[in-house]
Amino acid sequence: MAEITASAVKALREKTGAGMMECKAALTEANGNEDQAVEILRKKGMATASKKSGRTTAEGAVGSYIHMGGKVGVLVEVNCESDFVSRGDEFQQLVKDIAMHVAATDPRYLSRTEVSSGELDKEREILLEQLKNDPKNANKPEDVLNKIIEGRLNKFYEENVLLDQPFVKDPSKTIGELVTEKIASIKENISIRRFTRYKMGEGIEKRQDDFAAEVASMVG
């Protein structure tokens, strides 16, 4: 049995946000392997999140993040159960991290349930045509191709759905897993309710000036 040092427990706590005793127990179960301990804590965190998922989250905070000298801005609403928790440093940092992440990755949806069936059907159709056009798939039956498509849809979710995206500050976990860890750490239900991302000039058709004509007019 590997010796579980205080520094190892501290490092795991800083990485996961779990309690000291929970970290020590996870490291003991994992025989000192930090990666396995993280996995153990995540599984326990998910169980904790599941128990708390029915609780009402009527408190929380609206956070903001401005990037690139004012070129990109984000507003995000993250909810929790109590005003006390909403004012805490750990919750406030979570809100800031999520806002920063949205600024960096530009997700189109909050969760998979927001993706319309029509869009998924269109994505499946595109992927199927791509597979059929690849000679390597010439002899594969359609049910096999459909399984490949479902696997590739996970990539679509990772790119477009906030909760499925790898967290920019720690790509080993998704935003959904980050929230789950905070639920386990803070001991309250937490949910991301909505977000909006602004990019300066987005949607505005910029005038295309004829530079040569402008110079000619200036010199008569």
Instruction: Check whether 132 has a pLDDT greater than 90.
Output: no
Any domain includes 23 = yes
pLDDT class of 49 with cuts at 50, 70, 90: low
Residue 107, pLDDT score: 97
In this predicted structure, the answer to whether residue 159 has a pLDDT above a threshold of 90 is yes
What phi and psi values does residue 57 have, to the nearest 5 degrees? -115, 85
- Tell whether the model's pLDDT for residue 211 goes beyond 80: no
Distance between CA atoms of residues 83 and 61, nearest Å: 9
Q: Which of 65-69, 76-80, 169-173 has the highest mean pLDDT?
A: 76-80
For 113-117, which contacts have Cβ atoms below 8 Å and span 24 or more sequence positions? Answer: 114/161, 115/157, 115/160, 115/161
Per-residue pLDDT, 13: 74
- Beta strands in the chain, from DSSP E residues, in sequence order: 59-67, 72-80, 166-167, 170-174, 191-199
In a domain, 61, yes or no: no
Residue 38 placed within a domain = yes
Domain, as residue range, for 31: 1-52
Q: Which pLDDT score, from 0 to 100, does residue 143 have?
A: 81
Those residues with Cβ within 8 angstroms of residue 107's Cβ, 6 or more apart along the chain or in another chain? 160, 161, 162, 165, 195
Q: Which of the listed residues 159, 185, 212 is the one where a domain comes to its end? A: 159
Distance (Å, whole) CA 29 – CA 37 = 7
The dihedral of CA 52, 93, 110, 196: what is its sign? positive
188: nearest Cα among 92, 62, 95, 57: 57
State the total domains in the chain. Answer: 2
Which pLDDT score is estimated for 85?
93
φ/ψ bin of 17: left (φ > 0), alpha (ψ from -120 to 50), beta (otherwise):
left
CATH code of 34's domain: 1.10.8.10
What percent of the chain is predicted at pLDDT more than 90? 43
**pTM of the predicted model, to two decimals?**
0.68
In a domain? residue 18 = yes
In a domain, 33, yes or no: yes
What does the alpha-carbon distance between residue 175 and residue 122 come to, in Å, rounded to a whole number?
A: 26
Average pLDDT of span 134-150: 82
Tell me if 122 is assigned to some domain: yes
The encoded tokens of residue 113 equal 């349930």
Looking at 11-15, 153-157, 216-220, which range is the least confident one?
Answer: 216-220
151 or 205, which is more confident: 151
- pLDDT category of residue 140 using cuts at 50, 70 and 90: confident
Question: Could you tell me whether strands 191-199 and 72-80 are parallel, antiparallel, or unpaired per DSSP bridges?
Answer: antiparallel
